[in-house]
Amino acid sequence: MSASSGGSGGLSTLARRADTSSDGEASACLSLLEDILKTRQLSAVFQPIVAIGEGGILGYEGLIRGPLGGPLHLPADLFRVARANNLAFEVESLCCRVILERYAELSLPGKLFLNVSPMALELTQFDAGVILGFLEKRGIAANKIVFELTEQIHAGRDYALLRGVIARFRGMGFQIAIDDLGEGYSSLRRWSELLPEYIKIDMHFVRGVDASPVKQQFVRSLNDIAHTTGTTIVAEGVETEGELRFLVKAGIACGQGFYFACPDANPSSTLLAAGDTLLDHASWSLPYGAPTPTAHPGQGV
């Protein structure tokens, strides 16, 4: 999940129009972006990725937020302005540092799924000493990091080149995930070319899957391929008990979504009490916007 959608009205609109609006609006967004880079005005939030069979936490996806209440608060707006001003790599690098530092501070269990672009991997593939030194200084092992490649960013890239880049990082201990599988026209080719350790199913195929035979067949087929390739599937956008029940029945390994927990700056390191299961307590976590449950506090809803 490379960027979050939503937000309130006018402030976010300014950023969305930055590359087509007046010079004044574009200049204001650029000035704000430069200030964010200079003063590191970014914060990390984390959403758990759940092993849905037993309710344990596989890890967390690290997400970024800009200044609260500003036009670049949401990552979609932040990166839109960054790309329009040729600052995408600088912004992405800062995002990764902020998320990694916060992940280390919180001592979160499990793996960290870190959104990165193939461009960033290509530009940093020969900086092994710098990358591993940064992690070692913060007590993070490389094998706890999963680079999550977004579907849209690596569309049309040279697969041979990208496989070589990925091989270098795998040699350091990192793992790879492909985000939003099913969103683009060449999803299955990317899977077969890159052979990632994790695949994240686009939330379109998860929303309402319990009531859609077509989506159910799609998810089952992906799970069959995953068993063949040794890939772990993560179903994104789980929001209801019905969706969860189907995923468990279909044998999907992991899930992520508001049903379990919303992105939070201080996420819980556990989801359930000892001996509980997700389906025993199917009502403890509610979709985003519902009243915060009281039986299991601290889940970041």
What digits encode the pLDDT tens for the residues 251-300? 999 999 999 999 999 999 887 655 556 655 444 333 333 333 322 323 33
Q: Pick 44 or 125 by higher pLDDT.
A: 44
Helices 187-194, 159-172: axis angle to 10 degrees equals 50
Please say if the pLDDT value at position 105 is more than 80.
yes
List of residues 6+ apart from 212 with CB closer than 8 A: none
Give the pLDDT confidence score for residue 276 in this predicted structure: 58
Instruction: Note the pLDDT of residue 126.
Output: 84
Per DSSP, the three-state class of 44 is: strand
pLDDT attached to residue 18: 47
How confident is the model over 25-73, as pLDDT tens digits? 889 999 999 999 999 999 999 999 999 877 789 999 999 999 999 999 9
In 3D space, the residue among 39, 67, 107, 49 whose CA is nearest the CA of residue 254 turns out to be 49
Give the pLDDT confidence of 138-156 residue by residue, as tens digits. Answer: 999 999 999 999 755 455 5
The pTM for the full model equals: 0.84
Q: Give dist(CA 33, CA 42) in Å, integer.
A: 11
Residue 169 has pLDDT above 50, yes or no: yes
More confident residue, 294 or 175: 175
Give the β-pairing of 43-51 and 232-236: unpaired
CB 205 within 8 A of CB 224: no
| Contact present, 149 and 178 (Cβ < 8 Å) | yes
Cα(89)–Cα(97) distance, integer angstroms? 12
> Among 264, 267, 268, 271, which residue's Cα sits nearest to residue 244?
271
- Whole-angstrom distance, CA of residue 145 vs CA of residue 114: 7
DSSP 8-state secondary structure symbol assigned to residue 264: B
pLDDT at residue 16 is higher than 80 = no
pLDDT score at 8: 41
Task: Tell me the pLDDT tens digit for each residue of 203-251.
Answer: 999 999 999 999 999 999 999 999 999 999 999 999 999 999 999 999 9
Judge whether residue 176 has pLDDT over 60: yes
CA distance 230 to 132: 27
pLDDT, residue 300, reads 31
The answer to whether residues 49 and 108 touch, using CB atoms and an 8 Å cutoff, is no
Task: Please list the residues that pair with 189 across neighbouring strands.
Answer: none
Question: What average pLDDT does range 4-25 have in this prediction?
Answer: 52
- What angle separates helix 75-84 from helix 88-106, to the nearest 10 degrees? 150
Give one word for 286, left, alpha or beta, with left for phi > 0 and alpha for psi -120 to 50.
beta
- DSSP helix/strand/coil, 179: strand
Q: How far apart are CA 299 and CA 301, in angstroms?
A: 6
Tell which residue, 86, 109, 101, has the closest CA to residue 42.
101
pLDDT at residue number 280: 57
* Dihedral angle sign, alpha carbons of residues 189, 77, 202, 107: positive
Question: Are residues 44 and 57 in contact, defined by beta-carbon separation less than 8 angstroms?
Answer: no
